[in-house]
Structure 1
Amino acid sequence: MLTDALCPLAVKLYFCIALSKKRYFIQIAYDGSLYHGWQTQPNAITVQELLDKAMSVFFRQPIETLGCGRTDTGVHAKDFYAHFDIEGMDENKVLNALGGINALLPYQIAAKRIIPVHNEAHARFDATARAYKYYIHFEKDPFKLNRSWLVKDKLDIEAMNSAAALLLNYTDFSCFSKSHTQTFTNNCKVTQAVFEQQEGGLVFTIQADRFLRNMVRAIMGTLVSIGKKEIDLTAFKAIIESKNRSNAGQSVPACGLYLVKVEYPYLR
């Protein structure tokens, strides 16, 4: 039959199309002040939506990115990766596309690098470590609006660092996670958690293999309670061991939070 004769041709054509697809990572940075987070959503402007539109226009084909995670409304990223697939295009043209993509993006979003990767590479699941910084300042400063959290209370930094160090002793961080998230486990391995003083404020750095939704902001809210002497180290440990979000501190404002590093075993 004619359809039988066409089957091998159809199979060959399918594999030719599949083989013409190539996967890339794109590294970006963004000021999240104007956006409703990373992930595309209805009736709200997001970073992913604007990036996908810019890349689709430049490459003249539909581009859908998948990010290394999701940042909430108002959260910033200095180092963020997403993967995307592109069909039938010379690799050099893709790698030299940064100027054109940046011209189509708003000033608050910058494409920094495009990297060819193997076709099974995954921006979210292949990441082996992520690091965030959270910035606090103590006096009103118009130049830190939407970029740092103003705290007027005096904080005990030594006590906050003692509590932060305890995070390295635990793996289950259910108490710092948003409820009803689609994760199979609330276990994370924290490898760094420390406050450092800077001019006019503090910066908190935390690194782990993965983070739960709202985890860093909930940790910060609880550590600030330590700094205000509202709770002590014994209470802090009890909060973690309770695995109950209602026992932890309030989630701090998004404006001070930055994703600053994402690591992959095959990227340098």
Structure 2
Amino acid sequence: MSETTNKPTAHRYFVELSYDGTAFHGWQVQPNARSVQGELIDAFSTFFREEVYVVGAGRTDTGVHASHMVAHFELHNPIESPEDAVYKLNRFLSEEIALQEIYEVKVEAHARFSATERAYEYVLSRVKNPFATKYAWQFQRELNFAQMNQAASLLLEHNDFACFCKADSDVNTTLCDVRTAHWERDGDTWIFHIAADRFLRNMVRAIVGTLVEVGEGKHTIEEFKSILESGSRSKAGTSAPAGGLFLSKVSYPSDIRTTHT
């Protein structure tokens, strides 16, 4: 089934949700594999008693989490009580997925194409932590926090991120407008924050992996700058593990909701 349809529909809704990506083979529906999108489609189609297709703001990879994901779907009949629908759908869905809100949006609103910014967080645990095994990269070797932040700041001065794009990705452009990129400390946890208008496949994990190599002293700041300018994925570092990555925020224009919601 395609993500768009030429048939007019009466009502389009956004759903805001979060999920633990550990047990999923990513967001996107795929044969013989469990996906977040697939579970939402099954639950929504059963609950609303009509064929429902759910379109996400992006496609997280296998094992990647989302503390804030947005998706849209269309229904022929309006939802009488979105709050009640959220409550009941959460009982349908597995414990790894939680819906926070459903609201009607303008018919032209699109979860992916209407988004103005996306933000990710990558969690690095500096100590062994049995409670963070699935949700952080447990990295205990010596790292230079200041050097990693200095390198991260260079991302704001660049717009072509081909060096951090997965080699077999089918994209028309590798240009991205990175607006935020920095590390923060919270005790033994280091969190990398990055926000942009769009991201390439595997981009954040490749950036984190390369910044960690800077922190280890494997690359100087000048060498990191050269990696950025090279456009070559082979020059950058190994991608960080999926479990530490969270899609943390998807932003939209303030007037995207319908006026009667």
TM-score range (shorter-chain normalised) is over 0.9
Which of 49, 58, 75 is equivalent to 1:69? Answer: 58
Q: Call closer, same or farther: CA 1:255–1:27 in 2, change over 3 Å.
A: same
Question: Could you list the per-position Cα deviations for residues 220-242 of structure 1 after superposition, in whole angstroms to 9, with x for gaps in the alignment?
Answer: 01000100000101110110101
Structure 1 residue 94 displacement after superposition? 4.8
Partner of 1:102: 90
Structure 1 residue 201 displacement after superposition? 2.2
Structure 1 residue 90 displacement after superposition? 2.9
Rounded to whole Å, the distance in 2 between the matches of 1:215 and 1:204 is: 13
Rounded to whole Å, the distance in 2 between the matches of 1:92 and 1:157 is: 51
Unaligned 5+ segments in structure 1 are 1-17
Which of 31, 36, 39 is equivalent to 2:20? Answer: 31
Contact 2:11–2:78 (CA under 8 A) maintained in structure 1: no
Which of 139, 146, 154 is equivalent to 1:151? Answer: 139
Partner of 2:4: none
Which of 39, 53, 61 is equivalent to 2:42? Answer: 53
Q: TM-score, normalised by structure 1?
A: 0.90
Rounded to whole Å, the distance in 2 between the matches of 1:206 and 1:139 is: 23
Q: 2:164 aligned with 1:176, yes or no? A: yes
Structure 1 residue 20 displacement after superposition? 5.1
Unaligned 5+ segments in structure 2 are 1-6
Q: TM-score, normalised by structure 2?
A: 0.93
Rounded to whole Å, the distance in 1 between the matches of 2:250 and 2:149 is: 24
Partner of 1:214: 202
Instruction: List, as ranges, runs of 4+ consecutive aligned residues in structure 1 with deviation greater than 3 Å.
Output: 93-96
Q: 2:227 aligned with 1:242, yes or no? A: no
Q: Call closer, same or farther: CA 1:217–1:19 in 2, change over 3 Å.
A: closer
Q: Call closer, same or farther: CA 1:67–1:231 in 2, change over 3 Å.
A: same
Which of 175, 181, 204 is equivalent to 1:187? Answer: 175
Which of 84, 92, 106 is equivalent to 2:73? Answer: 84
SS in 2 for 1:144: coil
SS in 1 for 2:131: helix
Rounded to whole Å, the distance in 1 between the matches of 2:203 and 2:114 is: 20
Structure 1 residue 140 displacement after superposition? 1.3
Structure number with the higher helix fraction is 1
Q: 2:109 aligned with 1:121, yes or no? A: yes
Rounded to whole Å, the distance in 1 between the matches of 2:223 and 2:27 is: 34
The amino acid of 1:103's aligned partner reads: R
Rounded to whole Å, the distance in 1 between the matches of 2:129 and 2:121 is: 19
Structure 1 residue 91 displacement after superposition? 3.4
Contact 2:90–2:98 (CA under 8 A) maintained in structure 1: yes
Flag the structure with larger Rg: 1
Question: Could you list the per-position Cα deviations for residues 201-236 of structure 1 after superposition, in whole angstroms to 9, with x for gaps in the alignment?
Answer: 201100111100000000001000100000101110
Question: Could you list the per-position Cα deviations for residues 52-72 of structure 1 after superposition, in whole angstroms to 9, with x for gaps in the alignment?
Answer: 111111001111111000001
Judge which range, 96-105 or 252-261, deviates more. 96-105
Structure 1 residue 198 displacement after superposition? 1.0
Structure 1 residue 119 displacement after superposition? 1.2
Question: Could you list the per-position Cα deviations for residues 1-36 of structure 1 after superposition, in whole angstroms to 9, with x for gaps in the alignment?
Answer: xxxxxxxxxxxxxxxxx5552111111100111111
The amino acid of 2:92's aligned partner reads: L
Q: How many residues align?
A: 251
Structure 1 residue 96 displacement after superposition? 3.3
The amino acid of 1:245's aligned partner reads: R
Question: Could you list the per-position Cα deviations for residues 166-207 of structure 1 after superposition, in whole angstroms to 9, with x for gaps in the alignment?
Answer: 000000000000123222111001111111111212011001
Rounded to whole Å, the distance in 2 between the matches of 1:121 and 1:256 is: 31
Q: 2:194 aligned with 1:202, yes or no? A: no
Rounded to whole Å, the distance in 2 between the matches of 1:230 and 1:102 is: 46
Contact 2:9–2:74 (CA under 8 A) maintained in structure 1: no
